[in-house]
Each structure stands twice: as structure tokens, then as C-alpha cells.
């Protein structure tokens, strides 16, 4: 199996990188992967991951909820409950960011299609891409939506979209720089790019260290800090306009992290650590467990 090993930072190109921890794949393989950090831009990235053509088996698990829509177990049930509550917030965030009640939107990495369905329900013209065939089938069954294969990404016409959303997607993309170049090309002149990713500078990441569930190796290739995201966007002539919090993520990630660390979900410690993380982020949204970046040119 071909593996990807970085000798330079995939964001800034610096060769001053160091190994910072080893994290375990708790979803599929049980294998451990080294996470390195760039001394220049602070990006963290997973070393020796399967290349784009080989990584698909690491997504084949009922526990990988983005592709299965399962409600099996307490953690997945809570995930589904929170997702339903946040769909409206995500839609309104897009409307505020673009200043439009409806328009043209591209959703990259649509999973089982819940966000695409929300936007369609409110009269947006939606193009939704998803690499996993099983997830596309769930979207068709649950929402009667035809998600397109991710292979269409580089064939879409430029200047087509008022908004492009990536909800916990960019950390999965192998060809990072060409991908961001294409995202910029697909935006209309005043279009907005909305990217949500985990934030390893959050308090819950510091609490759980190598057990922090949002490392999610090897599926998460990159682990962004707000600083490294800024470097990536500026490299492509883009600018971060606003930072928005994802408050629920700290609780969900803490529950998973406790399970990975101790074998048990431990609701009370999980919610306490999620609360601690959010409390730390109250004064600075850039310390939230996951951050939404609203980006323009």
C-alpha cells in the first residue's frame, strides 16, 4: 500500500518539522500513526497515511457516522440529535455570510446529505459532492437527493457558486493546495468559502492528548490551528473574514475521547471537559474545539 510521508509541511513548505505524538486509529485498523508539527506555521499532519487511491478501506465502518447515518449507541444517538439542531444554524450562517436568502451553493463532502437537504428545502440551488457510494445511497433513500461523485469537483465551471461549504472535510483531502486553488476558482466574485475543521489548540485537545478523538487518524490528514489555516488561505489569495464556534463539538469529541482513553464513555467527565473547553473559548473563539472559518477573496 503506497504511503504518504511528508518531509516538508504541506501548507507552508517548511522543512522544520518535528514529531509530536502517536495516535491510534480506533475506528477501523487499530494501527498507530505519528503526528508531526510544522515549527513555522503550526500545522499538524499525519505521517505515513495511505495515499488517495488506498485510503477508502479506512472509512468502511458502521462507526464512521458521516457515511452511515447510524443512531446505534449513545454517542451516535447524541450526534444525530445535535446534527438536527445545528442544520438550521448552518443554513442561517451561510445566508448571513453571503447576504443572500437563496443562491447557488456547493457542498463538498456531503456525507449522507442532511445539510444539502436543508439548503434545498429553503430554495437554494445545491450541488453536492460525496466520495463514498454508500453515503450517496443513504442520501437518496433518506432525502431523495442525488449526490454527485467527488470526481466531478475538478470539472465544475468556474465562478459558479455564491457559497461553498466544507463541514469537516478539508482535513481529509490529500491534494491540499490544488484543492484550495479549485475552491477559489469555483466561487463567484463575492462568494464565500465556509470551512469547518477541528482545532488542536482547543482545551479538550490538551486534556486528551493522543486520545483526542478529533485526530481521527489516518482519515484526518491535517490538524489545523487557526494560524495554519490563515497561512493556507493567504497562500491562495484568500482571507479569513470571521471565525465562528461549533460549541457542541467539544462535548461529542470529549465523549469519544473518553471512550478511546478508558474504554467507557463516562458522560459526566465528558460533559465537564467539554464545558471546560468551551469556557476557555468564550474569550477567544479561535480556541473552540472546532472552528468555522468564513473566507473571502
For residue 71, pLDDT beyond 60: no
45 Cβ partners below 8 Å, 6+ apart?
A: 6, 9, 10, 35, 36, 37, 38, 221, 222, 223
Residue 83 to residues 22, 198, 232, 292, Cα–Cα distance (Å): 30, 16, 28, 15
Could you report the per-residue pLDDT of 170-208, keeping only the tens digit for each? Answer: 999 999 999 999 999 999 999 999 999 999 999 999 999
Distance CA 245, CA 232 (A): 20
For residue 251, pLDDT beyond 60: yes
Q: What pLDDT score was predicted for residue 67?
A: 47
Q: What pLDDT score was predicted for residue 274?
A: 97
- In this prediction, residues 35-63 reach a mean pLDDT of 95
Other C-beta atoms closer than 10 Å to the C-beta of 75 total 19
What is the band of 66 on the pLDDT scale with cuts at 50, 70, 90?
low
What is the band of 265 on the pLDDT scale with cuts at 50, 70, 90?
confident
Place of cell 483531502: 173
Distance CA 218, CA 38 (A): 18
- In the chain, the percentage of residues whose pLDDT exceeds 90 is 89
Q: What is the CATH number of domain 3-296?
A: 3.40.50.150
Average pLDDT, the chain: 94
Q: List the domain boundaries for the chain.
A: 3-296
pTM, rounded to two decimals: 0.93
Cβ atoms of 87 and 118 closer than 8 Å = yes
Amino acid at each position: 500500500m503506497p504511503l504518504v510521508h511528508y518531509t516538508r509541511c504541506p501548507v507552508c513548505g517548511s522543512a522544520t518539522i518535528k514529531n509530536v505524538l502517536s495516535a491510534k486509529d480506533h475506528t477501523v485498523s487499530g494501527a498507530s500513526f505519528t503526528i508531526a508539527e510544522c515549527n513555522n506555521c503550526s500545522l499538524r499532519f499525519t505521517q505515513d497515511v495511505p495515499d488517495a487511491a488506498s485510503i477508502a478501506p479506512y472509512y468502511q465502518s458502521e462507526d464512521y457516522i458521516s457515511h452511515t447515518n447510524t443512531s446505534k449507541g449513545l454517542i451516535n444517538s447524541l450526534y444525530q440529535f445535535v446534527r438536527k439542531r445545528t442544520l438550521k444554524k448552518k443554513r442561517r450562517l451561510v445566508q448571513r455570510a453571503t447576504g443572500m436568502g437563496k443562491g447557488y451553493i456547493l457542498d463538498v463532502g456531503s456525507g449522507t446529505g442532511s445539510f444539502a437537504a436543508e439548503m434545498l428545502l429553503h430554495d437554494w440551488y445545491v450541488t453536492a459532492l460525496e466520495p463514498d457510494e454508500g453515503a450517496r445511497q443513504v442520501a437518496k433513500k433518506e432525502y431523495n437527493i442525488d449526490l454527485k461523485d467527488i470526481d466531478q469537483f475538478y470539472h465544475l465551471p468556474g465562478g459558479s457558486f455564491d457559497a461553498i461549504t466544507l463541514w469537516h472535510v478539508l482535513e481529509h483531502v490529500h491534494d491540499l493546495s490544488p484543492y484550495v486553488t479549485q475552491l477559489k476558482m469555483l466561487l463567484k466574485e463575492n462568494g464565500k468559502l465556509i470551512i469547518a475543521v477541528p482545532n488542536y489548540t482547543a482545551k479538550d485537545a490538551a486534556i486528551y492528548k493522543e486520545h483526542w478523538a478529533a485526530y481521527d487518524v489516518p482519515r484526518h490528514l491535517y490538524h489545523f490551528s487557526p494560524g495554519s489555516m490563515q497561512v493556507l488561505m493567504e497562500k491562495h489569495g484568500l482571507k479569513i473574514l470571521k471565525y465562528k464556534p461549533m460549541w457542541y463539538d467539544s462535548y461529542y469529541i470529549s465523549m469519544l475521547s473518553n471512550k478511546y482513553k478508558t474504554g467507557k464513555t463516562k458522560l459526566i467527565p465528558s460533559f465537564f471537559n467539554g464545558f471546560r473547553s468551551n469556557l476557555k473559548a468564550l474569550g477567544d473563539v479561535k480556541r473552540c474545539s472546532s472552528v468555522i472559518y468564513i473566507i473571502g477573496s
